[in-house]
Chain A
Amino acid sequence: MERASNDQIATMPIEFKLDGKTVVGRPDEPIIETAARHGVEIPRLCYAPGLRPDGNCRACVVEIKGERVLAPSCCRYPTAGMEVITDSARARASQKMVLELLLSDMPEKEYRLDSELDQWARKLDLGLPRFEARKQPPADLTHPAIAVNLDACIQCTRCVRACREEQVNDVIGYAFRGEQSKIVFDFDDPMGESTCVACGECVQACPTSALMPAREAGLAKVDKTVESLCPFCGVGCQLTYHVGDNKIRFVTGRDGPANHGRLCVKGRYGFDYAHHPHRLTKPLIRKQGVAKGADFVVDPANWSEVFREATWDEALDFAADKLKQIRDQDRYALAGFGSAKGSNEEAYLFQKLVRAGFGTNNVDHCTRLCHASSVAALLEGVGSGAVSNQVSDVLKAEVVFLIGANPTVNHPVAATWMKNAAQRGTKLIVADPRRTELARHATHFLQFNPDTDVALLNAMIHTIIDEGLVNKDFVKQRTSNFEALKENAKDYSPEKMAPLCGIPAPTIREVARMFATSKGSMILWGMGISQHVHGTDNARCLIALTLMTGQVGRPGTGLHPLRGQNNVQGASDSGLIPMMYPDYQRVDNPEAQKRFQALWGTKLDAKPGLTVVEIMNAAKAGKIRGMYIMGENPAMSDPDVAHAREAMAGLEHLVVQDIFLTETAYMADVVLPATAFPEKDGSFTNTDRMVQLARKAIDSPGDAREDLWIIVQLAKRLGLDWSYQKPRDVFEEMRRGMNSIAGITWERLERDSCVVYPCENEGDPGEPVVFRTHFPTATGRAKFVPADLIPADERPDRHYPMVLITGRQLEHWHTGAMTRRSGVLDAIEPEPVASMHPLDLEALGAAPGEVITVASRRGEIALYARADDGTPRGAVFIPFAFYEAAANLLTNPVLDPFGKIPAFKYCAVKVSKGGARPGDPGYGNGGTLKLMYG
């Protein structure tokens, strides 16, 4: 017989006695859990699923025969023959005394309807506590999202563990000693002035009401809970909406595969945009004679100067008639922007509408602006644009290489897995020109010079070849074109590249070695890689690193471009791409064309369509005359946005479908009021290739309609014979055109909330790790594509001496249309800021908080200076969410030749002290909380 391994022994069942009965437990299962499985309930306060058991509250103490003192059943594991008594007079006396001691210090005032302490006191029949209360600490209401009432604190440290061990935000501590012990934020600072990022994990963890959603949300009446998803980023967190009176009262994290109950500030507190008074509730038609122009000031509260209300019939007819008219003159003069915020079904129908209804392939969406280059390189190299491994695989990796990404801000819950991995000893290499939060958790932080990605990465490739660390078997069996890479890499020794990228050669060599030789190395990247003129080359280098070391095809390895929008993966999969049908089937591939012509019963155009920036250029040139834009805001998100606004203003006909009167909608001829995320059902695909179901939680306001309905109505008016009623009707059709999801049934989505693709046949489990045996290319092999140094289009010079890097903030999503209308998010980041190194600010003579002016060759904006020593010298970082200081007025519209993605991460600017204070955009500006809650 073979000997059992230690891991096996740890889970082998053992018998022990529980309250006199023989039960079967496991050596790795605490007694409290075994008891629960056998219907024995033991009180507990500091113990909570998902958190490390700490055993401090002592409410769960039990008697173990032969032991001098009682034992905490949450931290004790059974041994064979152990005799445990949970309800003896002695055990009960201590359990009750613990509860009584804590109860005696609870405040009179309730912050929550039924705390866990109250529940246990009731179950154990506790009367009024007999001890005098402690001296109570004052409340801390300095944070817009979270009320801190330490008078209700029982010091169980669940919040500390949630903050430090789960989210690893490291804000909450348990300071001082004895009865002075206290939950603190940083240095016992007011929460609102601390480093708190308001993920709210502590609130979710608190068993009493010491940490609660602000404004007494904990006391609000809730009449239903709805299991859904977060509407913001690509991580795809599952959450629960708590709804009362058709309003979302608060949100809690759900145990989804991507988040396991965790959320970030946006997911937990950014839901109330749906209730904002600016919501569009009636179709709007542009008033006769109100001119369009790029130079406008949006006032969303005062829409009636520009628009008049219309009925749905009038608006839809108006929208469709003009589109039809242009189509019938020149179908190539129409284009559509779909949205990565919409569902798969919406994306699919939108592209079908453009292809079948407009008759062109001029359909694109904001993926073009985030990961088009990554996708281009991935399709070329490994045959699939999606991730090879899921984010949580970082927990299985030995080395994690994160480059050009700031996940604590942009993918906060994904970042928690990286921090968890780092805590467990995974070697985390962070490479980024900006020193961001994750750098503190990294074993190696490479703060390389902006725009020198290829230099750094080629130096790593060079090292791996130079030091004989190439996985020869893998290269031989699974790849092609390695010789070209090898030849190309000769010129890129670390010693030669070090002065360029600013990282010492020995460091480059060390991390290259670590990456190549570990049991599992995983690469994750963000838009610091993709948004360059050499974005595709950057990604090619990352793919090469992975292939040459064979670090792919296994758990804890692979390639993961962190996707931005909540459905950017799904929108791309569903075909919102000008040169591809759903599932990345090229429109110029006759087979694919045939397939979709058959599926859709119509003739399709074989000419690849234009991309986002190309469409804008064509509009400016008068070649595109009509557009249908659903849920996107190019008037804020496009590079050189003044140019984009001019282009849109020049359109003959612009149909915009949105929930707010966005900057783009302001230039529309007709605006169709749509539903917000929590107001409809649909499937969404996250960065991990998980197809997940969002469910309707609230009714939409006024006459706003579901997006799917609007698309169908337009389609009918464009002559298409559509009869889709529900998202599932659309999904069924999608399955017939997309092999990757053919095996996913709507019933399964409803049951499991999540299915991973590829899932080609019903009943397939789905594949979290792909490329295990082959790559989805014609040959089954992956292909190396070498890259050379291409400098940025516009480098700093005498006139524009600094580098502008644009990006996002934790609190604000993209162009801010939603998040600046969310009370908490607006309160935390109310106004536009530009981050600069404190020494650069000093050189400028500007104090942090003062107004500075940032100008490029394309425009200038004035905004507040923020000191951040993580920003490299000579650079300025500006988030693009602020209309009153739109960063994209400055950016350079030059494109990567393969991905057609603009270089948002690099252009030359000059910064000067002073300028007019940014104006009021009519929303946000720190006024949302007051507007919505009084």
Chain B
Amino acid sequence: MKRKGKGGVRSTLKGRTVDPRALAEVKKLLGQAPRRRDLLIEHLHRIQDACGQLSAAHLAALAQELRMALAEVYEVATFYHHFDVVKDGSKPAAVTVRVCDSIACELAGSHELLHRLPEVLGAEVRVVHAPCVGRCEAAPCAVVGQNPVGNATVENVAQAVASRSLTCPETKYFDYQAYRKNGGYGLLADCLAGKRTRDEITKIMEDSGLRGLGGAGFPAGRKWRLVAAEPAPRLMAVNLDEGEPGTFKDRWFLERDPHRFLEGMLVAAWCAGVGEIYVYLRDEYAGCRKILEDELKKLKAKPPCALPPIHLRRGAGAYICGEESAMIESIEGKRGMPRLRPPYVAQVGLFGYPTLEHNMETVLWVRQIVEQGAKWFAGHGRHGRKGLRSFSVSGRVKKPGVHLAPAGITVRELIEEYCGGMQDGHELYAYLPGGASGGILPASLSDVPLDFDTLQAHGCFIGSAAIVVLSERDKASQAAQNLMRFFRDESCGQCTPCRVGTAKALALMGERKWDQALLGELSQAMMDASICGLGQAAPNPALSVMKFFPHEVS
């Protein structure tokens, strides 16, 4: 930064000034795109995609173009891990390899990859660790550019780098034509044609017992009514920021039947009287983004009926944006910092309007439930529970993957009936019933029904139904540390209990013998006083270890 002239006098105005060349480049990259500040993250992606990084010169130019302050642009750019903010125009790495080191991948050996890859790939390639990339069924996973290499080895990663295979391979799925051929969008068309009433469809949802499948489990039908009762305009925001470690069901469905989701979304929007829809997709799912872009284009080109505007927004690497209000902030182009509630997003949500927010899978079920009836859905279930759940299973089982199973199934049944049993030579020792946040249960509690409301007594919850299975070769305390590290890295930094608490807790958990009293006190404050679910749930794994696996840390 050379701003002092010969006389020791500032030769420009205070602070950074905009380099006319950088401004021209940014203008070109943005093209005709509106210079709205809610599009800041989209604009940052354009620059990052084109340049492989965000230089200070480009960021300053972007700030001027959007009439934003430098700090406003900078704090957003540095919040998201997929933006590489650099002070000067140093050359970006030729390729970035993100090695997932979340729980499932760590169990499968990601540490060794992280250790060995830099040496093998050389200085040109940047190797960084990454939080869960949502491919736990193929752990460990390393993402080369935007190409997820499953069951990663040093060899297959090096191969992908060498051949510059940097994009996500396309999957086979039911495209628009195929979906329509099988009666797709018939329900939506009927709704709009007045053959169905909002009340009727909403009632079916209520009767089916369908609950929010992002983790919170709020009854879907009731949510529609709540939002519909708010004054227009109303918006909808669909959460495809599937970041809970161990969870990959949304991706799994999207890669197979995207229109089933889109139709469900549109029906939900219609029922709640929504005028505009935003779909927020995590940046890790580059393949899904391509699918959605292509299919939305087809849908809009030949719509089955009148459609509300649908906007696809791209995350940028931040787990916290899966939290509903953080996601809204992110869609508005800001840092993903959860809002304080009340007011609730159903009342004051996206851009300040009443907002219907749904997890992708929740609306995915809408068409089938309407077609087959509320009773059909509610008729499933085990051990007194009702409905179906999509379990994302990973860890020490033979057949990891998304398994559609009755709600209330036990982990033992799930492993035996759906996952081909434990891997050879492994015995069930512990399991995570709900991703990173849901706590850790011991094998002795492998016969508890897995569903909403069944695990509270044990200090756990099912959340997004991400089951990670640990064997006697693993340690629950190690897993808990992995999870706390994840929370520390993914904490948005807004509130003290979470920002400072996760870091201090991780330090305490790094000791051979845990200071259980202090960790307990800290955990209670985090659960009680954090703003959002991240900080409130972050202590769960540590508490589980102290409760069920005290021998590991005493």
Contact = CB atoms under 8 A, between A and B. Distances in A.
Given A58-B530, A177-B318, A189-B1, A865 B11 contact: yes
Contacts of B530: 58, 69
A500 to B, nearest CB: 28
Contact of B9 (A61, A178, A187, A833): A833
A102 B7 contact: no
Interface string B314-345: 00001000000000000000010000100000
Contacts of A187: 16, 56, 59-60, 70-71, 74, 87
Interface string B475-496: 0000000000000111111111
A287 interface: no
Residue among B71, B492, B531 with most chain A CB within 10 A: B71
A671 interface: no
A864 B10 CA distance: 9
Nearest to A95: B529
Contact of A97 (B78, B79, B529): B529
A58 B11 contact: no
A184 B72 CA distance: 10
Nearest to A102: B496
Interface in A167-190: 170-181, 184-189
Contacts of A364: none
B501 interface: yes
A94 B529 contact: yes
B503 interface: yes
A850 B6 contact: yes
A125 to B, nearest CB: 15
B493 A155 contact: yes
Contacts of A217: none
A178 B79 CA distance: 9
B91 interface: no
Interface in A779-830: 829-830
Interface stretch (B43-51, B200-208, B242-250, B519-527): B519-527
Given A184-B75, A186-B74, A187-B74, A178 B12 contact: no
B4 interface: yes
B interface residue count range (under 10 / 10 to 19 / 20 to 34 / 35 or more): 35 or more
A848 B12 contact: yes
B10 A178 contact: no
A867 B499 contact: no
Residue among A94, A154, A177, A850 with most chain B CB within 10 A: A177
B496 A849 contact: no
B296 to A, nearest CB: 30
Nearest to B71: A173
A134 B529 contact: no
B214 interface: no
Contacts of A174: 75, 335, 493
A517 interface: no
Contacts of B70: 170-171, 173, 186-187, 195
Nearest to A61: B529
A710 interface: no
B504 A866 contact: no
A111 to B, nearest CB: 20
Interface string B39-79: 00000000000000000100110000001011110110011
A612 interface: no
B430 to A, nearest CB: 27
B216 interface: no
Residue among B12, B490, B527, B529 with most chain A CB within 10 A: B529
Contacts of B497: 58, 94, 97-98, 101
Interface in A93-108: 93-94, 97-98, 101-102, 104-105
Given A75-B340, A189-B1, A867-B17, A94 B525 contact: yes
Residue among A101, A164, A188 with most chain B CB within 10 A: A101
**SS of A interface (majority):** loop
Contacts of B508: 131
Contacts of A197: 14
A885 to B, nearest CB: 11
Contact of A90 (B10, B12, B14, B528): B528
B69 A179 contact: no
A849 B525 contact: no
A44 to B, nearest CB: 12
Given A101-B500, A830-B8, A130 B493 contact: no
Nearest to B342: A76
B71 A57 contact: no
A131 to B, nearest CB: 5
A56 to B, nearest CB: 5
A72 B536 contact: no
B504 A131 contact: yes
A926 interface: yes
B193 to A, nearest CB: 39
A840 to B, nearest CB: 14
Given A94-B528, A187-B60, A194 B78 contact: no
B518 interface: yes
Contact of A864 (B9, B74, B75, B78): B9
A831 interface: yes
A102 B500 contact: yes
Nearest to A437: B13
A83 interface: no
Contacts of A759: none
A368 B211 CA distance: 75
A99 to B, nearest CB: 9
B250 to A, nearest CB: 23
Given A195-B16, A864-B5, A864-B7, A175 B499 contact: no
Contacts of A870: 13
Nearest to B20: A838
A199 to B, nearest CB: 12
B14 A196 contact: yes
Interface string A739-769: 0000000000000000000000000000000
A69 B531 CA distance: 9
A847 to B, nearest CB: 8
Nearest to A440: B67
B69 A171 contact: yes
B232 interface: no
Nearest to A60: B529
Contacts of B383: none
Nearest to A45: B496
B325 to A, nearest CB: 13
A132 B10 CA distance: 42
Contact of B15 (A194, A867, A926): A194
A292 interface: no
A717 interface: no
B15 A195 contact: yes
Contacts of B79: 175-177
Contacts of A180: 493
A679 B522 CA distance: 54
Nearest to B490: A178
A70 interface: yes
B3 interface: yes
Contacts of B5: 847-850, 864-866
A72 B318 contact: no
A916 to B, nearest CB: 12
A646 interface: no
A486 interface: no
11 contacts: A58-B530, A104-B500, A170-B72, A175-B71, A177-B78, A179-B499, A186-B15, A195-B70, A197-B14, A830-B8, A868-B13
Given A174-B75, A176-B78, A186-B70, 9 more contacts: A57-B495, A98-B525, A102-B500, A175-B79, A830-B9, A847-B11, A864-B9, A869-B17, A917-B7
Interface of A: 55-59, 61, 69-70, 72, 75, 90, 93-94, 97-98, 101-102, 104-105, 130-132, 134, 154-155, 164, 170-181, 184-189, 193-197, 440, 829-831, 833, 838, 847-851, 864-870, 917-918, 926
9 A-B pairs with the lowest CB-CB distances in the bound complex, closest first: A849-B5, A173-B71, A195-B15, A181-B493, A170-B69, A849-B11, A97-B525, A848-B11, A173-B75
